[in-house]
């Protein structure tokens, strides 16, 4: 058996001063020290870390981050320490809370024909940013594609988010989720929400798969879970993840009804209900009547054009002729009208919160 260990080496000028810091202040165990008559090297372990403090080391002292469930109970509540050898020590919370930045409202129009760059991201997927300014960091909206189908080099992971939507725009993708039973296929027109920290994995994708992904806030942590295997047993559809339930919306099982905007109808994905009104998601198409001017009270209102053409008119703005692949954000209080929709118009609307007012 080939036993392997790794350790971080740090310098020291006077080892006898560092020993009580690492053992008493940081609560680590001293595993080795030598030579006996005039020690110059000591090895400490603890908190998942092995440290070699060496008088002959020439590198900089570096920084150690210690993550605690209860930081106040560690090192007498200190948040920043400096060892005698100069090593900085930061004590932080093991589970950082999701910080929701205040929304910086703006009117945003992003058109596919403007040729925004596609960036290669996680697991080889291509990303196109649909809200470049990200409204002050409050949201990220990505148009994601995988040109070549087949197995996706993904691992079981989770996201520390407030809300996350995956809407299959084109093609299909095989997914598996914690406590949701066997893997399933997400087809075009269907969507899922990934409640905060639900473990999941992307398994297989069709050729030219495209999805729209919404994440709140814009910058959030993705954590690999090396210990969980999926599927992890029978489905538990009543499981609640930080106040949200998993949703797999299927277009073939949805009903169309009148929408908040005249001239349109929608199918509700039930995401508002299952997130406690954190967010709402609607698919919109042409309905009865003529479009009219409206404003809204939502903090964030994002729309993506999936099919057809429509004209976006905004008070005091030039009109935009929108086509598939285009997206826009309308800030609260701004009057707009979606005029001249084609018969095949189909829009994806995401609002935060899910419940808000539409004003004439």
Q: Looking at the structure, do residues 129 and 66 belong to the same domain, yes or no?
A: no
Please check whether residue 314 lies inside any domain of the structure: yes
pLDDT of residue 147: 82
Instruction: Look at 148-157, 262-271, 287-296, 311-320 and tell me which has the smallest mean pLDDT.
Output: 148-157
pLDDT of residue 118: 86
pLDDT of residue 24: 97
3-state DSSP of the chain: CCCCCCCEEEECCCHHHHHHHHHHHCCCEEEEEECCCCCCEEEEEECCEEEEEECCCCCCCCEEEEEECCHHHCHHHCCEEECCCCCEEEEEECCCCCCCCCCCCCCEEECHHHCCCCEECHHHCEEEECCCCHHHHCCEEEEEEECCCEECCCCCEEEECCEEEEEEEECEEEEEECCCCCCEEEECCCEEECCCCCCEEEEEECCCEEEEEEEECCCCEEEECCCCCCCCCCCCCCCEECCEECEEECHHHCCEEECCCCCEEEEECCHHHHCCCCCEEEEEEECCCCCCCEEECCCEEEEEEEECCEEEEECCCCCEEECCCCEEECCCCCCEEEECCCCCCEEEEEEECCCCCEEC
pLDDT, one tens digit per residue, over 168-226 is 999 999 999 999 999 999 999 999 999 999 999 999 999 999 999 999 999 999 999 99
CA distance 273 to 268: 10
Q: Looking at the structure, do residues 75 and 115 belong to the same domain, yes or no?
A: no
CA distance 12 to 250: 62
- Is the pLDDT assigned to residue 108 strictly greater than 70? yes
Average pLDDT over residues 128-148: 94
Please check whether residue 3 lies inside any domain of the structure: no
Q: Looking at the structure, do residues 272 and 346 belong to the same domain, yes or no?
A: yes
Q: Looking at the structure, do residues 282 and 216 belong to the same domain, yes or no?
A: no
Q: Looking at the structure, do residues 135 and 46 belong to the same domain, yes or no?
A: no
Please check whether residue 122 lies inside any domain of the structure: yes
How many CB atoms sit inside 10 A of residue 255's CB? 6
CB 201 within 8 A of CB 154: yes
pLDDT of residue 96: 79
Please check whether residue 302 lies inside any domain of the structure: yes
Q: Looking at the structure, do residues 159 and 112 belong to the same domain, yes or no?
A: yes
Please check whether residue 98 lies inside any domain of the structure: no
- Is the pLDDT assigned to residue 109 strictly greater than 80? yes
Q: Looking at the structure, do residues 140 and 205 belong to the same domain, yes or no?
A: yes
pLDDT of residue 111: 95
pTM of the prediction? 0.89
Read off the pLDDT band of 153 (50, 70, 90). confident
Query: Which residue range is the domain that position 257 belongs to?
Result: 253-359
Residue that finishes a domain, picked among 93, 123, 154: 93
Share of the chain above pLDDT 70, in %: 99
Read off the pLDDT band of 120 (50, 70, 90). confident
Q: Looking at the structure, do residues 306 and 187 belong to the same domain, yes or no?
A: no
Share of the chain above pLDDT 90, in %: 91
- Is the pLDDT assigned to residue 159 strictly greater than 90? yes
Please check whether residue 347 lies inside any domain of the structure: yes
pLDDT of residue 67: 95
Q: Looking at the structure, do residues 335 and 267 belong to the same domain, yes or no?
A: yes
Q: Looking at the structure, do residues 202 and 305 belong to the same domain, yes or no?
A: no
**Number of domains the chain contains:** 3
Average pLDDT over residues 326-351: 98
pLDDT, one tens digit per residue, over 213-261 is 999 999 999 999 999 999 999 999 999 999 999 999 999 999 999 999 9
pLDDT, one tens digit per residue, over 240-252 is 999 999 999 999 9
CATH number at residue 79: 3.10.180.10
Residue that finishes a domain, picked among 198, 214, 249: 249
Q: Looking at the structure, do residues 139 and 84 belong to the same domain, yes or no?
A: no
The chain-wide mean pLDDT, for the chain, equals 95
Closest to 158 (Cα-Cα) out of 242, 49, 47, 238: 242
Please check whether residue 101 lies inside any domain of the structure: no
Strands 310-314 and 300-307, bridge-based pairing: unpaired
Residue that finishes a domain, picked among 249, 265, 291: 249
Average pLDDT over residues 257-278: 97
pLDDT of residue 98: 87
Please check whether residue 103 lies inside any domain of the structure: no
- Is the pLDDT assigned to residue 357 strictly greater than 90? yes
Instruction: Look at 79-88, 110-119, 131-140, 198-207 and tell me which has the smallest mean pLDDT.
Output: 110-119
Quickly tell me which residue has 């209860």 as its tokens.
Answer: 70
CA distance 149 to 203: 11
CA distance 358 to 261: 8
Average pLDDT over residues 51-62: 96
Distance of CA 169 to the CA centre of its chain: 19
Q: Looking at the structure, do residues 215 and 121 belong to the same domain, yes or no?
A: yes
- Is the pLDDT assigned to residue 121 strictly greater than 80? no
CATH number at residue 242: 2.60.120.10
pLDDT of residue 123: 64
- Is the pLDDT assigned to residue 122 strictly greater than 80? no
CA 299 vs CA 331, 334, 353: distances in Å: 7, 12, 7
């Amino acid at each position: 058996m080939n036993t392997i260990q790794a350790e971080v080496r740090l310098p020291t000028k006077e080892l006898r001063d560092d020993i009580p810091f690492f053992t008493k202040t940081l609560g680590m165990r001293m595993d080795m020290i030598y030579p006996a008559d005039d020690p110059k090297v000591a090895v400490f372990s603890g908190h998942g870390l092995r440290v070699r403090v060496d008088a002959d080391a020439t590198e900089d002292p570096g920084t150690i981050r210690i993550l605690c469930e209860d930081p106040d109970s560690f090192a007498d509540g200190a948040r920043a320490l400096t060892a005698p050898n100069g090593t900085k020590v930061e004590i932080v919370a093991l589970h950082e809370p999701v910080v929701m930045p205040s929304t910086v409202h703006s009117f945003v129009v992003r058109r596919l024909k403007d040729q925004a760059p596609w960036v290669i991201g996680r697991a080889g997927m291509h990303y196109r940013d649909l809200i470049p300014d990200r409204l002050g960091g409050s949201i990220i909206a990505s148009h994601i594609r995988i040109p070549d189908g087949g197995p996706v080099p993904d691992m079981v992971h989770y996201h520390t988010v407030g809300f996350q939507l995956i809407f299959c725009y084109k093609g299909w993708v095989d997914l598996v989720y914690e406590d949701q039973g066997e893997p399933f296929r997400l087809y075009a027109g269907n969507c899922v929400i990934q409640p905060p920290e639900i473990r999941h994995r992307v398994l297989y994708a069709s050729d030219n798969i495209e999805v729209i992904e919404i994440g709140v806030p814009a910058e959030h942590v993705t954590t690999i879970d090396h210990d969980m295997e999926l599927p992890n047993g029978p489905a538990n559809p009543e499981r609640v993840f930080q106040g949200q339930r998993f949703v797999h919306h299927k277009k073939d099982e949805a009903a169309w009804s009148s929408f908040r905007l005249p001239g349109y109808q929608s199918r509700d994905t039930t995401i508002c209900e299952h997130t406690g009104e954190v967010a709402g998601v609607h698919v919109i198409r042409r309905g009865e009547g003529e479009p009219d001017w409206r404003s809204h009270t939502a903090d964030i209102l994002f729309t993506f054009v999936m099919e057809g053409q429509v004209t976006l008119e905004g008070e005091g703005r030039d009109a935009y002729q929108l086509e598939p692949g285009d997206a826009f954000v309308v800030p609260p209080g701004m009057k707009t009208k979606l005029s001249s929709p084609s018969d095949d118009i189909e829009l994806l609307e995401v609002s935060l919160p899910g419940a808000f007012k539409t004003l004439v």
